[in-house]
Structures are given as structure tokens and as C-alpha cells.
Amino acid sequence: MMPLSFETVIGLEVHVQLATESKLFCSCPTAYIGSEPNTNVCPACLGLPGSLPSLNRRALELGVKAALALNCSINCMTKFHRKNYFYPDLPKAFQVSQYDVPLAVSGSMPIFLEGKVKNINITRLHLEEDAGKLIHETADGRLSGAAFSLVDYNRAGVPLAEIVSEPELSSPEEAREYVLMIRRLVRYLEVSDGDMESGSLRVDANISQKCSDGRWGSRVEIKNVNSLRAMERALEYETIRQRGLLLKGEEIVQETRHWDDNSGVTRSSRGKEEAHDYRYFPEPDLPQIAVERTLVENVRESLPEPPWKKREKFAREWRLSPADSASLSENLDVAVFLENVAASGADRQMAANWVKTDILRVLNETGLAVGDLQVGPEGLASLLAHVEKGSLSNTAAKDVLDIMLKKGIAVDDAMKEAGVKAGGVSRESLLGVVAKVLGENAAETALLFSGEDTSGKKRKFLQGLIMREIRGQAAPEDVSAMIDRVLDEMKG
Ligand code: ADP
Ligand code: MG
Ligand code: ZN
């Protein structure tokens, strides 16, 4: 009998906290981290009788923005529903969410995997309000064993966009790439800070196994994955657990399971997730929402090129390596900075090298954003023009860039400060001088040529003569490299 084989099927629900000042249906501030508990609340987000919700237009715009970038179709009439369940983090005992007419449907987004591109279809994007936060007084913050729980409603009503994927991801690695791409996108769009640690980006992972004998196990929804690593571990664990059951001929129970990061297992969860009958019904306090054409078109015009387009462009058109294309498209401002360096006349590959090593290094070291740097794209391009002409060696150019970054001065002034003369010797004339000096000093050159100059004294001597001829207008390592080049050419 053929051994059984399996295929993993994964679909993700990603909740993105929208970067608005105020909540989805009231004017309370959205800041809940670091605020005194239960201070950013009002009758509306506490669900007190007589209060009425009204939709935050900015949240709608941000939702439309993310949806358009994901190539979704926007529903021009969209509706809110009440999702009913009882749990202390939900003051109204229902969450206002969307049901049969979500804000947007049928999108797609590519992910990159070892050089291959895979398109993942997006089922829907809808808006909903967040719940409050429960604080359990146990060492690990978990409910079990707590004598009591505290509740903070500052987060109740904060706007979320839920992005639901089709079940088209086929491994934990693909799931990871998908979440990373969503995070990059929402940061590009400034729709959210996309921070998983602080909970601005939360993932519920659905997973099932298809067996080669035709069985397809039920899907399990995993909650409480609070980092990318946790998501991957949870999906790996579930893969093994489900395959084990199928191998034994058992059925997979369709259920919600809770990831326990400390013990590295998922457990069948009791609690609010078990309340499967949400008794959805239309929110009677909100009208249907007309998403005007002009709003959609204005948002569409404001969209930047998405991260996957930038990455593909760097790889295909610019011919950068896959790793460089990825790292230089990670952040929109950096990608645009690079494009502007090239637009100001610099060679693309050279611009990419400098942005990748020198600019990104400074950003990492200082924690600054690229827009805060004292050197703009034109400034870097003018420096690179000197390097290309050969009037600045690479090393000298790095010193000059340091001065430009520190003092915010133009390249010519920075060169003066660094003691480098503008219009120093070009590569071509350096080659001429080196060839001439080597020719005039045949005895020394012969020793270099045959490798007998073990102490390097003759090389030093020749280098000194060359330096004198060019009046020191090249870096010693460039002169040395040019000597090697001429020797190589002599060897044929
Ligand atoms: P629910 O309300 O039960 O969470 P949703 O429609 O909101 O249902 O989300 C369903 C999620 O489960 C989607 O991300 C979808 O891709 C995923 N999914 C559906 N079927 C499967 C399956 N057989 N295996 C894995 N994931 C699945
Ligand atoms: Mg769901
Ligand atoms: Zn409020």
C-alpha cells in the first residue's frame, strides 16, 4: 500500500488596528497603551442606554485604502451587523462588525517565496470594533488560576480592519510571508503601525490537512498567536497533531484551539470562542453606509506603489539581487529615496549599494527615518557622480558622506572639509600615471611582477612615485589596486 501523504491548507484572518485618532463609533481617543484604565471611554463605547454610534469617516477611508491596495472591489453600500456574545471584555454584549455586505471583497496579494511569486486571494476586508482588555491577576496573565480579573475598556471601540484570506497558503512559511506582506503594506499605506507586539496586528490562523486517500480534515482555528514565530510554531504543531490523528484513522474536530506559547502546544479552548451562534443581525442604530465614488477615487489616487510592485521593479527592471530588492523595498520612504537618487542621475546599482550599506546603516544606528537625514537623494546622487567620474575614491566618498550627514552641507563643501580636492584624478588618468611609472621603473616592477617583493618595499616605493605625480589626489588603496590591475594586464 502506498504510504499516505498530506497537504497543508491554511487561511488567515488578520486584524489590523487602524491608525485613527478616535474610535470607530465615538470620539474617544484610541490610545489605550499607557493610558489610565477606563479613562478613554464614553456612553457610546460603553454601550450605555440611549447612546448612539456614528461612523468615523477616517476609519472608513483607511479601510478603503487598504482594500484598494489589495485589489478588492468596494461595496458602494455597506452594512454593519451586531455579533452577539457574552464576555466581560465586551461592554455591550455585542461587537459591531460586518457580515453579509462587508466593505470590500475579492482582492489578491502576491507573496514571494525563494524566488517564486504566489498570488493569494483575499476573500474580504471588513471594519469592526475592538473589544476591551481583560487583565488576569496570575503570573502568566492567563485566565486559569486567577482569583479575579480586571477589565479595561479603553480599547473597546478602537477600529479594526479584518482581512480574510482564501485557504490558499500551503505552509507555515507561506503564512509568515503573507503576514509580513500585509504588515509591509499597511505601513506603506500608513493605515496602521502593523506592530504585532503591541497588538496592532493580530492573526487567527485556520489550518486543515488534505490526505492523499481523499479525506480532508476539518479546519481548526488557532487563536492567541502573538508573534510571527508563535504563528509558525502553532501551525507546525497543528500540522503534526492533525496528521497524526488522520494516520490513526480518526476525525479532526472542527474547533477553536488556543496556542500556549510556553508549552508549545495548542489546546481546545473553552470560553467566548465556543459561542458559535453569534446571532448576527443588522445594527439598528447605524444607517447603511454609502461609500461615495469620489471618496474611493480620491483614495485610489493617493495610493503609493505597493511593496510587491517596488520589489518586482527593483528585481526585474533594475536587476538588483533578490536580497537587495527585498531589503530596499521593505520601507516605502527608503524605496522612494533610492528611486530619487537614481532619478537624480546616479547609476541604479551603485545607488542601491550606497543606500543599502551607508544609508540603512545610519538609519539603524540612529533610529532616524530617512526623511530626517541631512542628506537628500540629490545630495547622495551628487556625491555618487564624483565616485562614478573617479574624482573621489570609494573610501574618500564615505568620509565625505559622513560629513554631509553630520553637517547637512553640500558635497563640494564636505569635500573641502575632508581635505579631498574636487576634480581629483580620474580612473583613466590614474591608469595612465601608474602604467607610466611602472614602465619607467622596470627593475622594481619586475620584482613585483615575479612576486619577489615579499617585504612590499618596492611596491611602497612605486606607490610613492605615483602619489607624487598625482599630487595625492587618490586614495592609497585605489592606487594599489590600479598597480595590481596593470600587473595583471602585463601577465596577459
Ligand atoms: P469564521 O467566522 O468561522 O472565522 P471566516 O469566513 O471569517 O470564518 O474565516 C474563515 C477562514 O478560514 C478564512 O481565512 C479561510 O481561508 C479559512 N479556511 C476556510 N476553510 C479552510 C480549510 N479547509 N482549511 C484551512 N483554512 C480554511
Ligand atoms: Mg472569522
Ligand atoms: Zn467612546
The answer on 119 and 93 residing in a single domain is yes
* Residues pairing with 203 in the sheet: 14, 225
Is residue 309 in a domain? no
Domain boundary among 296, 325, 340: 296
The answer on 461 and 369 residing in a single domain is no
Is residue 305 in a domain? no
Cβ atoms < 10 Å from Cβ of 404:
25
The answer on 167 and 37 residing in a single domain is yes
pLDDT of residue 270: 63
Domain boundary among 238, 267, 296: 296
pLDDT of residue 437: 93
* 208 CA: nearest ligand 1 atom: 24
* Residues pairing with 14 in the sheet: 163, 203
The answer on 173 and 50 residing in a single domain is yes
Q: What is the dihedral of CA 190, 195, 200, 206, to 10 degrees?
A: 110
The answer on 333 and 459 residing in a single domain is no
Is residue 32 in a domain? yes
pLDDT of residue 389: 82
Task: State if residue 10 touches ligand 1 by the CB under 6 angstroms criterion.
Answer: yes
Is residue 210 in a domain? yes
Task: State if residue 208 touches ligand 1 by the CB under 6 angstroms criterion.
Answer: yes
The pTM score is 0.85
DSSP 484: H
pLDDT of residue 424: 61
Quote the ligand 2 centre to 484 CA distance (angstroms).
66
Domain boundary among 373, 400, 418: 418
Dihedral over Cα of 112, 113, 118, 121: its sign = negative
Cell for 125? 476586508
Is residue 408 in a domain? yes
Is residue 16 in a domain? yes
The answer on 354 and 237 residing in a single domain is no
Which segments within 312-417 are labelled E, that is strand? none
The answer on 386 and 443 residing in a single domain is no
pLDDT of residue 271: 53
Quote the ligand 1 centre to 167 CA distance (angstroms).
7
Domain count, the chain: 3
pLDDT of residue 451: 87
The answer on 52 and 116 residing in a single domain is yes
Q: Which residue's CA lies nearest to atom 2 of ligand 1?
A: 276
Quote the ligand 1 centre to 175 CA distance (angstroms).
14
Distance separating alpha carbons of residues 126 and 283, to the nearest angstrom: 15
pLDDT of residue 143: 65
Ligand in closest contact with the CA of 278: 1
- Ligand 3 ion: Cβ-proximal residues, 5 Å cutoff: 26, 28, 42, 44-45
Task: State if residue 219 touches ligand 1 by the CB under 6 angstroms criterion.
Answer: yes
Task: State if residue 217 touches ligand 1 by the CB under 6 angstroms criterion.
Answer: no
Is residue 308 in a domain? no
Mutation to probe ligand 1, out of 6, 12, 13, 171 (largest number of atoms < 8 A from CB): 13
The answer on 222 and 94 residing in a single domain is yes
SS (H, E, C) 432-469: HHHHHHHHHCHHHHHHHHHCCCCCCHHHHHHHHHHHHH
Interior CA angle at 84 toward 79 and 87, to 5°? Answer: 135
The answer on 340 and 214 residing in a single domain is no
State the residue range of the domain holding 472: 427-491
CATH at residue 467: 1.10.10
Task: State if residue 166 touches ligand 1 by the CB under 6 angstroms criterion.
Answer: yes
The answer on 32 and 178 residing in a single domain is yes
Specify the length of the chain in residues. 492
Is residue 165 in a domain? yes
Task: State if residue 165 touches ligand 1 by the CB under 6 angstroms criterion.
Answer: yes
pLDDT (tens, 9 = 90+) of the chain, 492 residues, equals 678 999 999 999 999 999 999 999 999 999 888 889 999 999 999 999 999 999 999 999 999 999 999 999 999 999 999 999 989 999 999 999 999 999 999 999 999 998 799 999 999 999 999 999 988 876 666 666 778 889 999 999 999 999 999 999 999 999 999 999 999 999 999 999 999 999 999 999 999 999 999 999 999 999 999 999 999 999 999 999 999 999 999 999 999 999 999 999 999 986 555 556 889 999 999 999 999 999 999 999 999 999 999 999 999 999 999 999 999 999 999 999 999 999 999 999 999 999 999 999 999 999 999 999 999 999 999 999 988 887 787 878 888 999 999 999 999 889 888 776 555 666 777 888 899 999 999 999 999 888 899 888 999 999 999 988 877 777 788 888 889 989 988 887
The answer on 368 and 281 residing in a single domain is no
Task: State if residue 163 touches ligand 1 by the CB under 6 angstroms criterion.
Answer: no
- At residue 248, the 3 state secondary structure works out as coil
pLDDT of residue 33: 82
Task: State if residue 11 touches ligand 1 by the CB under 6 angstroms criterion.
Answer: yes
Quote the ligand 2 centre to 467 CA distance (angstroms).
71
